[in-house]
Amino acid sequence: MLAFLGRSIALGLITAIIVLIAVPDLRPTTPVSLSLPDSGSTPLSFNYAVRRASPAVVNIYNRRYDNSNSEERELRTQGLGSGVIMSDKGYIVTNYHVVAHADQIIVALQDGRVLNAQLIGLDQLTDLAVLKINADNLPVIPVNPQYKAAVGDVVLAIGNPYNLGQTTTFGIISATGRSGMSFYGPQDFLQTDAAINKGNSGGALVNTRGELVGINTASFQQATNIETYGISFAIPYQLTIKIMQKLIADGRVIRGWIGIQGREINPLMARLYDVAKVNGIIVDGMDPTGPASKAGFKKNDIVIEIAGKEVTNVQSVRDIVTDIRPGTHIQVKILRDGKPMMIPVTVANRPPMTNPPK
């Protein structure tokens, strides 16, 4: 009997050993550790970008004379916004709508200094303005000329919403090349879901290295008079720098203008118009007193080249013509009824906008 039990136990042990060898998953494993992560690990943070960019973002207070009391005129704060120090010489960029109607402009730096600002120039079309302050040791916003905003880039909006004090919000670039997003014209904007509220206008939109991506603007919300959530806009920094330099040089932006409206040509339209070349715009309207009308342009002409530069879309026409000094004589290459033609045009000064917003 004992011999039988011994053989049974031995046979069971041998079987168990064979099963464990054949099926490794049945072997006991080391217990999973539930200890906390290493205390030395660093959490994801954009603190570096904020520390690098935020000193160059200022608070701007728009003050106007209150004429309600005929016996005494009193300066009162009428609006607020933000600005960005672009140069150690004291040049600050902000939005046109922040300072356009100010009698006095006050700038508050993050280091506690409060200074009067001189208005250098305004550009209503891009909703940009340039101010100047006289001070030493000014922080300047970092700029990377090689950076090009792309959808999905992480961005931070820095400004002074509702006069709460400097605030940073977080989001991504939602879209690029948005046009018609303000009162001012068909300028290209960056769209972001970083929160931009009243007071953020004129502040900085920066990337995760603290480099300037654009100048925040709330003009879309003002123009549409609606609340928007997750839809904010900024003026690209390349356009900002270009306009800033022109305002510093001339006090205003001098733009070329030929007075045509057009729409982009696509492969289907190229087939309808029986042209092999796809790039260009089709003229679908003209200012009756503009240079293009006087030069003999006709509706449905296809503009393919201006002053020796190839036309790719409607924005390229604006960019090319805007940079030509008024009074300059240029040649515009068109296709009319499928045949190439050169039309001489004298570039004019862009007429001022009417009914500016208050």
Task: Give the residue among 94, 55, 93 at the shortest CA–CA distance from 201.
Answer: 94
230 appears as a binding residue in the annotation: no
261 appears as a binding residue in the annotation: yes
Q: What is the dihedral of CA 107, 112, 114, 120, to 10 degrees?
A: -40
Mind telling me the catalytic residues? 97, 127, 201
- Quote the tokens at residue 297: 């342009």
List 81's β-bridge partners, or say none.
60
- b/e for 209-230, b at 16 or more Cβ within 10 A? ebbbbbbbbbbbbbeeeeeeee
Task: Give the residue among 276, 265, 179 at the shortest CA–CA distance from 223.
Answer: 179
Q: How many CB atoms neighbour CB 61 within 10 A? A: 21
> How far is it, in rounded angstroms, from Cα 28 to Cα 233?
58
259 appears as a binding residue in the annotation: yes
DSSP 69-135: STT--EEEEEEEEEEEE--TT-EEEE-HHHHTT-SEEEEE-TTS-EEE-EEEEEETTTTEEEEE---
Q: How many CB atoms neighbour CB 121 within 10 A? A: 20
Output the known binding site for substrate: 258-263
Annotated binding site: 258-263
